[in-house]
Amino acid sequence: MTATENITFNVISADLKKVSADALVIGIGKGTDGPVILDSPLSASAVNSLKASLTALGVTGAADELVRLPGLPDTGAKVLVLAGVGKLSGTEITEESLRRATGSAIRQLAGLAHVVLALPTTAVTQVSAIAEGAALGGYQYASLHTNPNGRKAPVQKVTIYSALAKDPALAAALLRASVVARAVNATRTLVNEPPSRLYPATFADAAKDLAKGLPVKVTVMDEKRLLKDGYGGIMGVGQGSSRPPRLVKVEYKADKAVADLALVGKGITFDSGGISIKPGAGMITMKCDMAGAAAVLNTVLAVAGLGLPVNVTAWLCIAENMPSGTAIRPSDVLTMFGGKTVEVLNTDAEGRLVMADGLVAASAEQPDVIIDVATLTGAQVMALGHRTAGVMGDDGVVAALKAAADRSGELIWPMPLPEELRPSLDSPVADMANIGERMGGMMTAAVFLQEFIGKDDDGETIPWAHLDIAGPAFNEGSPYGYTPKQGTGMAVRTLVAYVEDVVARSR
């Protein structure tokens, strides 16, 4: 269960003639008056002749555009590649457009062994964005095809050309890029695994495997323990499946921690809908319903790998939602961890049931902040589409997550938590029903989760935010930028950046 990720990096500022490679990639921006050749180590005469032929070549500089030309005599590369970086906003090229352009190029150049990337860099963070984009774009799921012939091997070696090659801050920045990319790619692989291979017990095993060698403690609670301790949400959702549920606690304790962070992730290894079964088409992508748990797991591993001074505990709420003679029925009542009762009116609204248990368990340890991540609602996809996640919760946490997402290049957007939605979740027989107002259903689900956030010692509700990643966790369409088909690894980069910001603010 390992992603193909034996990509290696080095950064040079040497004469390009001396670097023999399969391809040299330069950037083309989409300027207001047509394509613009971005700064590169090519000679002025080479750039001039290239400029004269750009339009005839059909080059526009659009994102994901890739044009291959014979290598130039003043470089040691067999092929010159023109990679589109998209619209130029002023003269500065953003880190995210560098990440996407290099990710797209490395993805499309699969089959070549050694690629030199020569995009403009004036800051170390831009060099690391290029490295991150390349590591993300080079991702391939080690698929189950029996005939791998049609498949091109991912690029193995990437050389980044930059005048900052000798910058003392570079090594740490590149290490960060590779730790973060590894975490994102591992999240993708967990999501891509078919549910016949990745079910609650094997997901828990994978968490243990991935944590090996890191200062991270993984505790697996099996169905006997969950039953005994009263995890009625996770047990209820899992009771229709022949594969019993798990709650996995993943802990990283830092030296001199400046904060305690709890993460809770939805880990439905397959969501059939249960007795409220989904129509066939709606079920096709439902192996992705554990993407939140995979993201929070890999966030802890990345934070530990980087040695950041924040304690982070992830709670993976793992179950398979299946219909059967033992499954929960619409109108059954579950007693969640901590004692609240919930009437299940729709067994397909199962995410909020497993998350409720996880949020109560996380609250009991009184962390400074709780952030949960879940592929929670189809309404999220309706509201914000396939690429933008919704974020709801306390203003401070929401704002901090938005800022972290902006820096990391992930798209998230704040949505409200209207109080008036709460009565729609009232039940005549239990504390709450698991479904309420359908319109704005992403917010209804978040209002349900909010009820399970505990209080701190002073009686104040623990600061909390909820990320609904139903759309962006899984790419059903074609690959773009550094984003492959299927699992995307959504939320890992935002969460790591959030932790870094917590550290920076404490200094």
Q: Considering the complex, what minimum distance in angstroms separates the CB of residue 411 from Zn ion?
A: 21
Helix ranges (H only) for 109-154 are 124-137
Of residues 182, 243, 352, 493, which has the active-site annotation? 352
Exactly one of 22, 95, 223, 271 binds Zn ion (CB under 5 A); that residue is 271
Residues that bind Mn ion (CB under 5 A): 271, 348, 350
Task: State the binding partner of 296 from ligand BES, Mn ion, Zn ion, none, CB within 5 to 8 A by kind.
Answer: none
Exactly one of 59, 379, 425, 462 binds ligand BES (CB under 6 A); that residue is 379
The backbone torsions φ and ψ at residue 191, rounded to the nearest 5 degrees and listed phi first, read: -65, -40
174-208 burial by CB neighbour count: b if 16+ within 10 A, else e? bebbbbbbbbbbbbbbbbbbebeebbbbbbbbbbe
Instruction: Considering only CA atoms, give the Rg of the chain.
Output: 24
Residues 465 and 457: their CA atoms lie apart, in Å, by 20
Q: Considering the complex, what minimum distance in angstroms separates the CB of residue 283 from Zn ion?
A: 10
Residue with tokens 């998209």: 86
Q: Which two tokens stand for residue 404?
A: 């972290």
Q: Considering the complex, what minimum distance in angstroms separates the CB of residue 474 from Zn ion?
A: 12
Q: Which two tokens stand for residue 444?
A: 């209804």
352 is catalytic: yes
Per-residue x/- track, 271-290, ligand BES (CB under 6 A): x-----------------x-
Mutual angle of helices 291-306 and 492-506, in 10-degree steps: 40
Residues 19 and 74: their CA atoms lie apart, in Å, by 11
Per-residue x/- track, 304-343, ligand BES (CB under 6 A): ----------------------------------------
Size of the site for Zn ion (CB under 5 A): 4
In 13-57 the beta strands, taken as DSSP E runs, fall at 21-31, 34-37
Q: Considering the complex, what minimum distance in angstroms separates the CB of residue 237 from ligand BES?
A: 10
| Nearest residue to 190 (alpha-carbon basis) of 491, 466, 446, 477 | 491
278 is catalytic: yes
Residue nearest to Zn ion (CB): 271
Query: What's the Cα-to-Cα distance from 131 to each of 160, 195, 331, rounded to whole Å?
Result: 8, 32, 52
Exactly one of 155, 221, 412, 470 binds ligand BES (CB under 6 A); that residue is 470
Exposed / middle / buried, residue 231 (Cβ in 10 Å: 0-12, 13-18, 19+): buried
Closest to Zn ion by CB, 60 or 434: 434
Exactly one of 76, 378, 387, 424 binds ligand BES (CB under 6 A); that residue is 378
Active-site positions read 278, 352
Binding site for Zn ion (CB under 5 A): 268, 271, 289, 351
Binding site for ligand BES (CB under 6 A): 271, 289, 346, 348-351, 375-379, 381, 435, 441, 470
